[in-house]
Amino acid sequence: MLDLDSKWRYFSNMLLVRRFEEELIALYKTGKFSGHFHVCIGQEATAAIAMDLLAQRDHITTTHRNHGHMLARGVSEKIALAEILGREAGMNSGYAGSFHLTAPELGFLSTSGIVGGAISLGVGGAYACKQRGDQSVTMALFGDGALEEGVSFESLNLASLWKLPLVFVCENNDATLWTPSGTLSKEHAVSDLCDLPRLCGIATKSVAGLDLNELNSTFTLAIEHCRSGAGPFFIEVKTARWPGNRTQWPEPVTGRTDLNMALGRQTIPDEDREWFEVNDPVLKIARQLANEPAGDSKLLEIDIAITRRMEVAVEFALSSPYPNARKALDHVFA
C-alpha cells in the first residue's frame, strides 16, 4: 500500500499533467500552435506510477500520447510546452512538436507517432538492457490500437523468445467499449487484450488506471519480474476515454477540472457526471486525500501552486522565439 506522502506526491504529478494539458487545449483554441495533438486526460495515474518506479538507467518508449509520461518522469513543463509550441527553448528545439517529445537524459528513446512504433522500439531497448547485463529494464508504453498492427505480434513473440526485460504497457483508453462477455470493439477480434501476449507465453496483468495502489503493486511486480531475468511482462491499463477525446482533436468539453467537485463544493455537470464521478483518476485520488486531516485545504493549495507554475510555463513558452528557420538543415545526421 502506498504511504500518504507518496499519494500526495502522485496527486501533485497528476494534477500538473492535467493542468498542463488543459492549458495546452486553451492555447490551441486561441491559435497559439497548430497541428494534430493528443492529450492523456484520464490516464495521468499510469504516467505518475510508471515513470516513478523506473530506475535512472532504465529505458522508455512512448507514443503520440506522451505528455503525461514526459512530465511525470521529470521533464520541466516549461520546455515541454515550448516544444509543443514549436519554440527554440523547447526540449527538442522545435523539431519534435507534440508527437515526438523525448528526453534521452531521462531514459526515453525515440517517441513514435507511428502506431506500433513504441512497442517495437521498446524491444530494442530491452535487447540493449539484456546485452548490458546490468538488470536494467525497458518500458514500452503504447495504446490498445498498437495491438492491431502486425509488428506488435512480432514484438511480443521476439521479446518472449529472447526473454527480454521489457515491460509492455498497453494503455487501453477505450475500456468502456469492452464487456467481459465479448468484444464490442470494431478493431480487435479478442475481447481480452491480454490473450495476445498470453499466447506468446508472456506474464500479464490487467489493471484499472484509476487506482494508485493497484497500479503501484502491478508495476512494481512487473518491473521486478523483468529485472529478475524472467522475461517480459505485459500490463494492460484500462481507462475510460475522456469525453473530450471522443472527437478527433481534443475538445475542452469538461472545462478546467474543478477540484471542488471532489470536495462536494461544486456540482458536477450532468453530461459528464459519470466520467468525473467514476473515471477521473485525478478526482478519485483528490477525494481520498480530502479525507485526510486538513486535506481539502492542502489540495487547493497544491492546485494554486501548480496553476501558478503553469502560468509561468505559458509565459516562458510564448516568449521563447521560434527557431532560426535555417536550423531545419541541422541534425540530419549526428
Partner 1 sequence: MTIQKMSYAEAVLTALNDSMIADDSVSLIGRPFSLGPTRVLAKKLKEKFPTRVCEPPTSEAANAAVGAGAAMAGARPFVDLGTGAFSFLAFSQIVNEAAVCNYMSGGKLRAPVVYHVNHGVRGAGAPQHSHDMHAYVWNTPGLQVILPATPNDAYGLVRSALTNPNPTFIMSHFKQATMMGDVELGVSIPFGKADVKRTGTDVTIIAVSLMVHAALEAAEQLATRGISAEVVDVRSLSPLDEDTLLQSIEKTGRVIVVDESPLHGGVSSGIAGVLADRGFKYLKAPIRRVGRPNTPVPASGPMEEYLVPGPQHILEAVASIL
Ligand X SMILES: Cc1ncc(C[n+]2csc(CCOP(=O)(O)OP(=O)(O)O)c2C)c(N)n1
Phi, psi of 76 (to 5 degrees): -70, 135
DSSP-assigned letters across all residues of 182-203: B---SS-S-S-TTHHHHHTT-E
Q: Does 115 bind ligand X (CB under 6 A)?
A: yes
Q: Does 33 bind partner 1 (CB under 8 A)?
A: yes
Q: Which of 7, 87, 130, 287 binds partner 1 (CB under 8 A)?
A: 87
Does residue 268 contact residue 277 with C-beta atoms inside 8 Å?
yes
Q: Half-sphere exposure (CA, 13 Å, Cβ side) for 178?
A: 20
Q: How far is the CB of 187 from ligand X (least distance, A)?
A: 9
Burial class (CB in 10 A: 0-12, 13-18, 19+), 5: exposed
Q: Does 144 bind Mg ion (CB under 5 A)?
A: yes
Q: Which of 106, 114, 128, 221 binds ligand X (CB under 6 A)?
A: 114
Q: How far is the CB of 168 from ligand X (least distance, A)?
A: 13
Q: Which of 90, 145, 209, 281 binds ligand X (CB under 6 A)?
A: 145
Q: How far is the CB of 62 from ligand X (least distance, A)?
A: 10
List the beta bridge partners of residue 59. Answer: 138
Q: Does 144 bind ligand X (CB under 6 A)?
A: yes
Q: How far is the CB of 30 from partner 1 (least distance, A)?
A: 16
Q: Taking CB under 8 A as the rule, which mask of x and - marks residues 35-54 in contact with partner 1?
A: xx------------------
Question: Quick count: other Cβ atoms within 10 Å of Cβ 321?
Answer: 9
Q: Taking CB under 6 A as the rule, which mask of x and - marks residues 60-99 in contact with ligand X?
A: ----xx----------------------------------
* Alpha helix positions (H), 238-332: 273-274, 281-290, 295-319
Q: Does 94 bind partner 1 (CB under 8 A)?
A: yes
Question: Quick count: other Cβ atoms within 10 Å of Cβ 123?
Answer: 24
- In three-state secondary structure terms, 82 is helix
Residue with cell 499533467: 17
* Interface segment toward ligand X; rule CB under 6 A; list 24-32, 88-96, 102-110, 112-120: 112-120
Q: Which of 18, 59, 78, 188 binds partner 1 (CB under 8 A)?
A: 188
Q: How far is CA 197 from the centre of its chain?
A: 21
Q: Does 170 bind partner 1 (CB under 8 A)?
A: no
- 111 or 279, CB closer to partner 1? 111
Does residue 285 contact residue 7 with C-beta atoms inside 8 Å?
yes
Question: CA-to-CA distance for 175 and 185, rounded, in angstroms?
Answer: 10
Binding residues (CB under 6 A) for ligand X: these are: 38, 64-65, 113-116, 143-146, 173
Binding site for partner 1 (CB under 8 A): 33-36, 86-87, 90, 94-100, 112-116, 145-146, 148-151, 186-188, 248, 322-329, 332
